[in-house]
């Protein structure tokens, strides 16, 4: 063998050794990455304080030491519309988070991007026992395993819910019941006989904080449970009850403030805080806004949104549920987090950090009822809880459009029902296109 051949042979052997070594090293690194719990994991949340949610996940790390070195990247959005568009953009760029949230009153446009939870990990049967019926109806799905058999699985995990309150000035309503509209009307008559004050801050849309869910609750009172059903006489009754409440001879007079509030970029909360309006409606977290406006905390009280009778009723609830992105590269981490989210320890820790929410798990409800919601206020969780109510999800079609446009319809009292029917058809048309990808050239306007 000549000298050159020997040199080439040696070089070849060196290169083989080098590439084999690199292959083994990369294989070992890949295997470590595949089985390790360390690394980055992204969660997108809505309305929850980022630092508080980080503390919530720190408790998960304490209970699961194999995740002690995992970096959880948390992005918290304040506005649902901004969150929605950011999430759509993230999926288009293949940069969506590992876990994200969806609102219960929105059509699930992201459902095909969601990975189900193994029923051997979180049992749908156990879920039914531990959660209110509304969550089982909303969150359990079925899939066929063969021609004859189906299997149930959980698609989403809720940690909380909220329902509408009526906040009121205790000075004007001391000792009065407000659980039904009949009781409320009695209080209003008493107020009107002794004072010029306006009793409740509803009647139009643009000046009413959170009007999109208030009118939705009026739909539920008339038995309308989704936008598809919001038509005909029931729809007209719901809108009429809202925009004409105490109209004509029993004028609510809230409209007398409309021009002033709009011109000053204010709303019914400002009128409530200065004493012109005696009642406002929204979720418990409205307490933060009322506090900023300077309302005297000693005179603030609350009740569950009033109904038309004292029997069981449909009460709108709002919640954001957690889902796993089916394209996550860290499915085991995502599934372990879902187990933590559904555990007693996880649910209890979350409620300690976020004090405006009611528990989604039944066993925690009674423990929470006697607690004060916020220091310095005479408001307990039992003030907005009634075991007779039926918690209900309302499908808005497309929440971002529904919430942003419905308020202007309620300003147009004389033809608000006609405008709502046009609006309803448009939203459902866009929703159908998005979900089915059919009739794409048909105009929805």
Does position 36 have pLDDT exceeding 70, yes or no?
A: no
Euclidean distance between CA atoms 238 and 219, whole angstroms: 5
What confidence score (pLDDT) does residue 3 get?
43
119: Cα separation from own chain's centroid: 24
Phi, psi values for residue 252, rounded to 5°: -70, -30
pTM score: 0.87
- Which two three-digit tokens encode residue 112? 């095909």
pLDDT digits (tens, 9 = 90+) for 282-299: 999 999 999 999 898 899
Does position 31 have pLDDT exceeding 60, yes or no?
A: no
Count other Cβ atoms within 10 Å, centred on residue 311. 8
What confidence score (pLDDT) does residue 246 get?
61
Strands 320-325 and 157-158: antiparallel
Count other Cβ atoms within 10 Å, centred on residue 225. 15
DSSP 137-192: HHHEEEEESSSS-EEEEE--EE-EEEE-EEEEEHHHHTT---SBHHHHHHHHHHHH
Helices then strands, each counted (H, E), the chain: 17, 15
Does position 243 have pLDDT exceeding 50, yes or no?
A: yes
The mean pLDDT of 266-274, rounded to a whole number, is 93
Query: What is the percent of the chain with per-residue pLDDT over 90, rounded to a whole number?
Result: 61
What confidence score (pLDDT) does residue 180 get?
83
User: What is the average pLDDT value for the chain, to the nearest integer?
Assistant: 86
Please tell me whether residue 252 adopts helix, strand or coil conformation: coil
pLDDT digits (tens, 9 = 90+) for 299-336: 999 989 988 765 558 999 999 999 999 999 999 999 99
Does position 208 have pLDDT exceeding 80, yes or no?
A: yes
What confidence score (pLDDT) does residue 59 get?
96
pLDDT band at 6 (very low <50, low <70, confident <90, very high): very low
């Amino acid at each position: 063998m000549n000298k050159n051949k020997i040199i080439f042979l040696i070089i070849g052997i060196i290169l083989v050794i080098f590439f084999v070594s690199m292959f083994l090293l990369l294989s070992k690194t890949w295997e470590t990455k595949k089985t390790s719990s360390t690394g980055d994991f992204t969660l997108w949340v809505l309305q929850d304080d980022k630092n508080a949610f980080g503390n919530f996940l720190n408790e998960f790390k304490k209970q699961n030491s194999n995740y002690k070195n995992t970096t959880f990247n948390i992005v918290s959005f304040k506005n649902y519309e901004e969150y929605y568009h950011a999430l759509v953009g993230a999926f288009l760029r293949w940069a969506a988070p590992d876990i994200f949230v969806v609102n219960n009153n929105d059509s699930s446009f992201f459902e095909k991007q969601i990975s189900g939870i193994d029923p051997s990990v979180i049992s749908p049967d156990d879920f039914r026992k531990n959660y209110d019926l509304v969550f089982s109806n909303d969150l359990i799905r079925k899939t066929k395993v063969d021609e004859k058999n189906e299997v149930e699985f959980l698609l989403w995990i809720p940690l909380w819910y909220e329902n509408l309150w009526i906040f009121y000035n205790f000075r004007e309503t001391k000792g009065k019941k407000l659980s039904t509209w009949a009781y409320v009307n009695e209080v209003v008559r008493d107020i009107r006989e002794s004072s010029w004050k306006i009793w409740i801050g509803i009647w139009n849309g643009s000046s009413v904080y959170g009007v999109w869910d208030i009118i939705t609750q009026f739909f539920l009172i008339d038995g309308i449970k989704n936008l598809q059903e919001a038509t005909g006489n029931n729809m007209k009754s719901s809108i009429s009850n809202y925009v004409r409440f105490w109209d004509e001879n029993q004028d609510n007079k809230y409209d007398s403030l409309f021009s002033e509030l709009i011109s000053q970029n204010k709303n019914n909360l400002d009128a409530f805080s200065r004493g012109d309006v005696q009642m406002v409606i929204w979720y418990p977290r409205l307490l933060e806004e009322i506090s900023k406006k300077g309302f005297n905390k000693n005179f603030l009280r609350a009740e569950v949104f009033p109904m038309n009778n004292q029997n069981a009723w449909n009460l709108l609830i709002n919640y954001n549920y957690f889902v796993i992105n089916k394209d996550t590269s860290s499915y085991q981490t995502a599934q372990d987090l879902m187990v933590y989210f559904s555990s007693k320890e996880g649910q209890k820790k979350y409620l300690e950090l976020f004090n405006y929410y009611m528990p989604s798990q039944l066993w925690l409800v009674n423990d929470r009822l006697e607690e004060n919601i916020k220091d310095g206020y005479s408001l307990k969780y039992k003030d907005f809880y009634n075991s007779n109510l039926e918690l209900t999800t309302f499908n808005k079609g497309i929440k971002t459009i529904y919430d942003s446009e419905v308020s202007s319809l309620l300003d147009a009292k004389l033809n608000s029902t006609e405008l709502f029917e046009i609006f309803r058809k448009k939203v459902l048309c866009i929703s159908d296109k998005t979900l089915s990808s059919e009739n794409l050239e048909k105009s929805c306007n």
